[in-house]
Structure 1
Amino acid sequence: MNQKVILVVDDEPKSRQGIKKTIERTYIDQFQVITANDAKEAMERIDHQKVHVLITDIRMPEVSGLELLKQLKTKAQEPVVIVVSAYSEFDYAHEALELGVVNYLLKPIAKEKLMNAIEKAIDVEKQREETGIFSKMIDGKLLEMQQKSKYSPGVEHALDYIEQHFDKELTLKQVASEVHLNASYLSALFKEELQITFSEYVTRKRIQEAKKLLLSTNLTIAEIAEKTGYHTSKYFIKLFKQYENLTPNSFRKQNVSDS
């Protein structure tokens, strides 16, 4: 199991080591705790290692904790942040909160308050991770179409049928027959009401389901192709790459490692 990484940034060695030791003694082997003595070293750490929670002093020489948070906004990764300070000025706290800080602790930090802050930060990080994975699985355009409630009965019936049978062979003629409509008429309805063709809708639905399987199972590409209605993995890979600009394998590797 991969450990969550906590980065402690403070220019005062005693404070920095004190926070590190408190976390390590309380959460034995649960977290990997690393340290930095200033913002520059912290950014170097973040550039080379995934950091899940950042605990930073707000007042440091050269680059302050607030400036560090502003720099983080330009990075691909944004850890959950806890700010610590020997000062209780409202302006500092207010700006820190605007920069997405989940907790603002005053020195000297009580052990219980530090532990509560870390547990809250880990919960936030898990929620972000789950939301991130969900967003990678979902086709925004498909979701938008599925949330609309004003479709003609024939299109509604067709969408329900596709939802239940996307893993089987689906043709326009077959679905039209199931919903008791002429194939040409159903095709025209799809274009008019959904602004995409029947075949594109089916493909988007299948690709979305494939992304869910890629991120939540260890099924092979051939097995996923079969479960999403494709006879050959070659054709499935071609379509997946067309829609996602990545092969299924690359999509899986990239997004599983990100999380």
Structure 2
Amino acid sequence: MNTKTMLIVDDEPRTRQGLKKTLDTWSDGKYDIFTAANGEEAIEFMQKQKVHILITDIRMPEITGLQLLKAAKEQDINPVIIVISAYSEFEYAQEALRLGVTNYLLKPISKKVLIEAVESAEHSVAKQEQAGMIEKVVDKKLVHLYSQNPSNPEPIREAIEYINNSLKNEITQKEVADHVHLNPSYLSVLFKEHVKLTFSEYVTRRRIQRAKELLITTNLPIYDIAEESGYKTAKYFIKIFKEMEGVTPSAYRKNNNERAF
């Protein structure tokens, strides 16, 4: 499930196979590495399977590397891109950068330079996926609280931090009120005023968000995720999750089954 995909596109068989051999040895099973002899083959492949890193020659017959990148972009296919070329003309590099290329390598490419470029691309893949996961799990009503609004009174900031660190446990309003040295009724009023959610709504939303993170980034069974998110039974967790997200936890995991890490 963790294996990622790399695609090498070059019309020269020796170059194509040489790059693949070097990267197969470096990858040691981390990547499934495929090759394509031209831009058309590459587009067909990327339409069927997600490609995390694309390495493409820039000068190829029929569909050039730049045309391949444009076609991918138009179809919302967004791998991390490394361009290789025997040509150093500035306009190619300029256009490649405009199309989101992270590295532009000139032939002949040493193994060291190739591997350094791919390792750099790996970091970009991780950043892309982390951003994707945040987008998937984010709760719009909690967004403004992520950075802990400094204008919130200190007891509210402390209450939010306490809740966030205690999601696995049973959390009562009285317990949190005691922690921040406030009367529970006053905490309730203050919380609603500044967080724009009731105490229990906030706790539920944070628990479901935690569950979403675990569903996407781990293989933990549903009952373990229920427990990690603060629910005593999987049945109740599934009920609340479906009310909030419109699907069961299992369906949510299936729909977002590309792991972020």
TM-score category (smaller protein): 0.7 to 0.9
Give ranges in structure 1 of 5+ residues lacking alignment.
none
Match in the other structure for 2:125: 125
Question: Residue 107 of structure 2 corresponds to which residue in structure 1?
Answer: 107
Partner of 2:60: 60
Question: For 1:256 and 1:102, how far apart are their aligned partners in 2?
Answer: 26
The one-character-per-residue Cα deviations of 1:157-209 (angstroms, maximum 9, x if unpaired) are: 43244234433334445544654545444333223212222222111111122
- Report the counterpart of residue 36 of structure 1 in structure 2: 36
**1:243 maps onto 2:230 in alignment:** no
Indicate the residue corresponding to 1:71 in structure 2. 71
User: Relative to structure 2, which stretch is displaced further, 6-15 or 79-88?
Assistant: 6-15
Amino acid at match of 1:10: D
- Of the structure 1 ranges 213-222 and 53-62, higher mean CA displacement relative to structure 2 is found in 213-222
Measured in 2, the distance between the counterparts of 1:243 and 1:158 equals: 23
Matches of 1:119 and 1:23, distance apart in 2: 11
AA of the residue aligned to 1:15: T
TM-score, normalised to structure 1's length? 0.82
Shift of residue 45, structure 1, vs aligned partner:
0.8
Q: Go from structure 1 to structure 2 and tell me whether the alpha carbon gap of 1:123 and 1:163 turns closer, same or farther (over 3 Å shift).
A: closer
CA RMSD, aligned part only? Answer: 3.0
Letter paired with 1:64? T
- The alpha carbon displacement at 1:2 in A equals 5.0
Q: In 1, distance between residues paired with 2:25 and 2:180? A: 65
Cα gap change, 1:221/1:91 in structure 2, threshold over 3 Å: closer, same or farther?
Answer: same
The aligned amino acid for 2:210 is E
Give runs of aligned pairs for residues 74-223 of structure 1, distance below 5 A.
74-75=74-75, 77-133=77-133, 135-139=135-139, 141-147=141-147, 148-172=149-173, 175-176=176-177, 179-223=180-224
Equivalent residue of 2:231, what SS?
Answer: coil
* Counterpart residue identity of residue 229, structure 1: G
Residue 15 of structure 1 is matched in structure 2 by 15
* Gap regions ≥5 residues in structure 2: none
Q: Which secondary structure state, in structure 1, belongs to the residue aligned with residue 101 of structure 2?
A: coil
Letter in 1 for 2:116: N
The aligned amino acid for 1:237 is: I
Secondary structure at the counterpart of residue 102 of structure 1: strand
Deviations, residues 96-155 of structure 1 (Å, cap 9, x unaligned) = 112221211223333332232223223332343344445545545435314212222442
Quote the sequence identity (%). 51
Deviates more, 1:8-17 or 1:100-109: 8-17
2-side partners of 1:165 and 1:4: how far apart? Answer: 34
- C-alpha distance after superposition, 1:14-69 (max 9, x if no partner): 43334334434665656433222222210111122232221111123332211211
**In structure 2, distance between residues paired with 1:20 and 1:163:** 46
**Structure-2 change in CA distance of 1:258 and 1:68 (3 Å):** farther
Which shifted more, 237-246 or 64-73? Answer: 237-246
Query: What secondary structure, in the 3-state scheme, does the structure 2 residue paired with 1:222 have?
Result: helix
2:101 partner amino acid? V
How many residues get paired?
259
Q: Deviations over 1:204-235 (max 9, x none)?
A: 11112223333454443223223323233233
Deviation at 1:74, TM superposition (A): 3.9
